[in-house]
A and B are shown apart, each in its own frame.
Chain A
Amino acid sequence: MSNPYVDLGLSAPVNVSWEVTFACNLSCLHCVSDSGPKRNGELTTEECRRMIDTLASMKVFQVNIGGGEPFLRKDFLDLMDYAHQKGIVTCISTNGTLIDDQIAGRLDNGLVYLQVSLDGARAETNDAIRGEGSFRSALRALECLSKRGLGVSINTVLTRLSFPELDQLEGLADSFGAKFRVSRFRPSGRGKANWSELSVSKEDLLLFSEWLSRHQQVSTGDSFFSVSHEDRKSLGLNMCGACKLTCCVSPLGEVYPCAFLQEKEFLAGKLPQDSLQFIWENAPVFHSFRELEIRSCESCLRFDFCHGGCPAMAYHTQRRLGLPDPECLANCVTRLPVTAWRHETGDHCGPGSSGN
């Protein structure tokens, strides 16, 4: 069963993912937004301020800021000050390259949480994905932020390279007093081209699922409900929140169901021409997403845990919504011999009829 209160329809998103620029000084292999140079038509400072006004009037609780690298925007800290003055909590995803003591000091106001991206516990591993010198820069940022006691986490995208180093990454986070968060790699943006090279195998996803159960303090946001066991059910959402609890605004002001579905066919509207409140309430794309049912999953034993998983994964791998997440736990275990999944999952669940 999904959340009956959410099903009634919320008046506004709980949080909004806002990619504030395409500009990035790194060129990560898995970048969801294919960031690089700044692009024409990015929202101006004034347009961003108006958007913050809207978010505040809609009572959006939290804005998750990403990019590109947000700190490359010259007006970024002023915009954050403006959002914080309005009581909006922000969570900033950064590669850490531009963070110094001065910036850390400016962010020390109790309304900011930072996620510093790191894709390996060793420079060799991380820099292979994120670029030369990025490991050292991220550690320097973590030092500046943790020295001030700011809320910070290391965020790692689960790939074939980072998977073997999760324990060390968790230890590294601990050494900075930071939390550890693992995000899902999806074949969108630059991730499409590098999907086959970097995505983890089904067998490794099963092992990762077990690893998550042993590491309850590791957060995953809304990334891994599709492979999480019952013991993690209370730690977060067990459903896709797109268009129900969250949505995404691109650097150009385009509004999408989520950061991983920034495709023309999912464009719900564009700021500042359209109002975010109007889009949230009326956009046909959002309505159809709210009504999305992954019927072939409904008889699966795990349906209550994942409700069909991540629609973006289904779309990017099968070009259709409404199909099961190809990397859900049930789909993973059916790929293995029965004896293997019984061993791996401890009989928490069996392979459901997930329609694969």
Chain B
Amino acid sequence: MGQEAAYCLSAGVQVRREKFGLLFYDYRGPRLYFAPTRDLIQEGFFGGQVTVADLTGEICGANGGWPRKIVQGWIERTLETLVGKGLICEQSVC
């Protein structure tokens, strides 16, 4: 998983914001997945345009003082889980 990677929703998957974070719905199941991301990742991130580096910068910027390395690690683990569950896929940014 590179810092320049961007992600989009897999076919048949929708997402919306909730108090705890993001709620994914996979039509192929159908099944739900609750991602406790609080307000750190917005649904718009999964439009395939924003990179992991951008998101890391945004989160660190909005939460002054958060260590970049820790934020980056959290984002990577979160995205890996979502990829592993087939909810999102990596997209190359042109």
The chain A residues found within 8 Å of chain B, CB to CB, are 3, 5, 8-12, 14, 59, 61-62, 87, 89, 110-111
- Identity of the chain A residue whose Cβ is nearest the Cβ of B24 in the assembled complex: A61
Separation of A79 and B8 alpha carbons in the complex (Å): 29
B40 within 8 A of A: no
Whether B30 and A5, one on each chain, are in contact in the complex, defined by CB atoms closer than 8 angstroms, is: no
Q: What are 15 A-B contacts with C-beta separation under 8 Å?
A: A3-B34, A5-B18, A5-B23, A5-B36, A10-B18, A11-B16, A11-B17, A11-B19, A14-B23, A14-B25, A14-B32, A59-B16, A62-B25, A62-B27, A89-B14
Q: Which of A9, A61, A110 contacts B19 (CB 8 A)?
A: A9
Q: Nearest residue in A to B11 (C-beta to C-beta)?
A: A110
Q: How many residues of B contact A (CB 8 A)?
A: 14
Say how far B40's CB is from chain A's closest CB, in angstroms. 16
| Distance between Cα atoms of A9 and B20 in the complex (Å) | 9
B residues apposed to A, CB below 8 Å = 12, 14, 16-20, 23, 25, 27, 30, 32, 34, 36
Task: For A10, list chain B residues within 8 Å (CB).
Answer: 18, 23
Structural contact, B14 and A87, CB atoms closer than 8 A: yes
Closest Cβ–Cβ distance, residue B45 to chain A (whole Å): 16
Residues of the B chain whose Cβ atoms lie less than 8 Å from the Cβ of A11: 16-19
Q: Which of B16, B19, B27, B36 contacts A89 (CB 8 A)?
A: B27
Shortest C-beta distance, B78 to chain A (Å), equals 15
Instruction: Provide the bound-state CA to CA distance between A59 and B17, in Å.
Output: 9
Q: Which residues of B contact A8 (CB under 8 A)?
A: 18-20
Which residues of B lie under 8 Å from residue A62 when comparing CB positions?
Answer: 25, 27, 30
Contact A5 B20 (CB under 8 A): yes
Q: How far is the CA of A11 from the CA of B15 in the complex (A)?
A: 13
In the complex, the 9 A-B pairs of residues with the closest C-beta atoms, listed nearest first: A61-B25, A5-B34, A59-B16, A5-B20, A8-B19, A89-B27, A61-B14, A8-B20, A11-B18
Closest to B34 in A: A5
Q: How far is the CB of A290 from chain B (nearest CB, A)?
A: 14
Distance (whole angstroms) from the CB of A152 to the closest CB of chain B? 14
Docked pose: A288 CA to B36 CA in angstroms: 26
Residues of A within 8 A of B20 (CB): 5, 8
Q: How near does chain A come to B41, taking the closest CB pair, in angstroms?
A: 15
Bound: A310/B54 CA distance, A: 46
Complex Cα distance A11/B12, Å? 21
CB distance from A296 to the nearest CB of B (A): 29
Shortest CB–CB separation between residue A10 and chain B, in angstroms?
Answer: 6
Residues of A within 8 A of B16 (CB): 11-12, 59, 61
A12 to B14, CA, bound (A): 14
Shortest distance between the CB of A243 and any CB in chain B (Å): 16
Q: Which residue of B lies closest to A3 (CB)?
A: B34
- Chain A min CB distance to B39 (Å): 13
